[in-house]
């Protein structure tokens, strides 16, 4: 079988093309630090990369969400700390001074009453704290300020102040269990708003279901609850003796007693009861701070777990996608050597002969 120069050149060109392709592939691996650039080069690796990248992106979303939730909780904690500082000064300083027998003159009591009025406004503002465009104590409705001090003046010029939470009077009587509030009543609204929860998916396997009324529910263990309704911070409803459970309302009632012109022993006893009730509200504030601290520790633990998972996913993607640079450079050097050799060989097969022209 005679092999012509034309056949040699045809085979040479084909093999030279393979050599150029191998050189380009090796050069691309070195420059991109990737084992493959297109899916068809390694279908299995491409599928694994896509899956790992999706997990990595989702993990990043969870980490960003945790940072946002932590900042949200910091706003809650800061507001409660402000409220606790205000309440401590009212209870431990103004309250004790107001109970002092030497401070029973009307002018002195009015001064203390003014302090309680101002504190009532300040506490309301603290409970309307916001983070971004959300009010941190608004429960499931964080788009509007949750608390409002509504003042009304009657025909005799007497001003009464009502504290509203999302439009409902916080001093509404709440039925004692097992009795239940009438559906749609203010008491039922307060109970429902106090129990509101706002869940955030932080990678615990969010699980949803449906209750008896057909409403979607979330399994508590599968998501993180960010809601802290303000009703649970400053209290709502009344106790068995008919005294308000709300600290802001109590501040106003203390001011009312201090402003009475004829301050009798009964007024003194009433003031003492109100101050004790107000001081008890600080325990609830501290309980909420403890709860926030526990949730913050949980978030930090979760963040650590997600950061560890981020490192693991990065390592897996590295193993699937990234090349061994030493091996890639060696492969490139060999491809470059083979290409240069192919060029030199080409000069020895391009010399035509007489027999070739006879073919």
Confidence of residue 263 (pLDDT cuts 50, 70, 90): confident
Three-class secondary structure of residue 322 per DSSP: strand
Query: Which pLDDT belongs to residue 126?
Result: 94
What's the whole-number mean pLDDT along residues 158-181?
89
* Closest C-alpha to 62, from 219, 208, 223, 209: 223
Query: Taking 80 as the threshold, does the pLDDT of residue 67 lie above it?
Result: yes
What's the whole-number mean pLDDT along residues 134-156?
90
d(CA 229, CA 134): 13
Three-class secondary structure of residue 197 per DSSP: coil
Q: Measured in Å, how far apart are the chain's first and last C-alpha atoms?
A: 12
- Other CB atoms within a 10 A radius of the CB of residue 72 amount to 19
Query: Taking 80 as the threshold, does the pLDDT of residue 357 lie above it?
Result: no
Of the listed ranges 6-15, 42-51, 194-203, 252-261, the one predicted with least confidence: 6-15
Condensed to tens digits (0 to 9), the pLDDT of residues 223-242 reads 999 999 999 999 999 998 88
Condensed to tens digits (0 to 9), the pLDDT of residues 93-118 reads 877 777 776 557 888 888 888 999 99
Query: Which pLDDT belongs to residue 286?
Result: 93
Condensed to tens digits (0 to 9), the pLDDT of residues 308-332 reads 999 999 899 888 887 877 877 888 7
Query: Which pLDDT belongs to residue 2?
Result: 65
Query: Taking 70 as the threshold, does the pLDDT of residue 145 lie above it?
Result: yes
Q: What is the sign, positive or negative, of the torsion defined by CA atoms of 286, 292, 293, 298?
A: positive
Query: Which pLDDT belongs to residue 354?
Result: 47
* Closest C-alpha to 254, from 276, 232, 231, 230: 276
d(CA 342, CA 349): 11
The torsion angles phi and psi of 118, rounded to 5 degrees, stand at: -65, -40
For residue 125, give both structure tokens: 């503002």
Condensed to tens digits (0 to 9), the pLDDT of residues 184-201 reads 999 999 999 999 999 999
What's the whole-number mean pLDDT along residues 64-87?
94
Condensed to tens digits (0 to 9), the pLDDT of residues 274-303 reads 999 999 999 999 999 999 999 999 999 999
- Please say whether the beta carbons of 35 and 42 come within 8 A: yes
What's the whole-number mean pLDDT along residues 142-156?
87
Question: For 246, what's the count of Cα atoms within 13 Å in the CB-facing half-sphere?
Answer: 25
Q: Which helix (H) or strand (E) holds 298?
A: helix 265-321
């Amino acid at each position: 079988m005679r092999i012509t120069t034309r056949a040699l050149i045809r085979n040479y060109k084909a093999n030279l093309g393979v050599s150029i392709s191998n050189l380009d592939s090796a050069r691309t691996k070195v420059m991109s630090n990737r084992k493959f650039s297109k899916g068809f080069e390694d279908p299995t690796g491409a599928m694994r990369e896509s899956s790992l990248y999706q997990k990595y992106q989702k993990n990043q979303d969870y980490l960003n969400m945790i940072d946002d939730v932590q900042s949200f909780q910091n706003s809650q904690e800061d507001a409660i700390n402000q409220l606790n500082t205000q309440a401590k000064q009212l209870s431990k300083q103004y309250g004790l001074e107001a109970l002092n027998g030497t401070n029973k003159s009307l002018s002195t009591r009015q001064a203390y009453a003014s302090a309680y009025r101002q504190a009532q406004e300040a506490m309301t503002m603290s409970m309307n704290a916001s983070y971004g465009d959300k009010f941190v104590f608004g429960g499931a409705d964080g788009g509007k300020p949750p608390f409002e001090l509504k003042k009304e003046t009657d025909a005799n010029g007497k001003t009464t102040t009502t504290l509203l939470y999302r439009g409902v009077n916080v001093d509404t009587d709440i039925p004692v269990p097992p009795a239940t509030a009438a559906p749609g009543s203010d008491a039922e609204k307060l109970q429902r708003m106090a129990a509101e929860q706002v869940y955030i998916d932080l990678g615990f396997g969010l699980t949803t279901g449906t209750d008896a009324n057909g409403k979607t529910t979330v399994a508590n263990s599968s998501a993180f609850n960010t809601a802290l309704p303000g009703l649970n911070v400053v209290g709502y409803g009344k106790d068995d003796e008919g005294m308000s459970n709300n600290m802001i309302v109590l501040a106003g009632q203390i001011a009312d007693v201090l402003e009475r012109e004829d301050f009798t022993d009964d007024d003194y006893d009433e003031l003492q009861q109100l101050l004790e009730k107000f001081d008890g509200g600080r325990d609830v504030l501290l309980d909420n701070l403890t709860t926030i601290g526990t949730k913050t520790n949980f978030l930090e633990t979760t963040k650590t777990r997600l950061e560890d998972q981020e490192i693991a996913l990065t390592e897996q993607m590295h193993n699937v996608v990234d090349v061994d640079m030493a091996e890639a450079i060696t492969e490139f050097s060999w491809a470059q050597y083979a290409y240069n050799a192919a060029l030199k060989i080409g000069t020895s097969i391009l010399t035509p002969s007489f027999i070739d022209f006879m073919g």
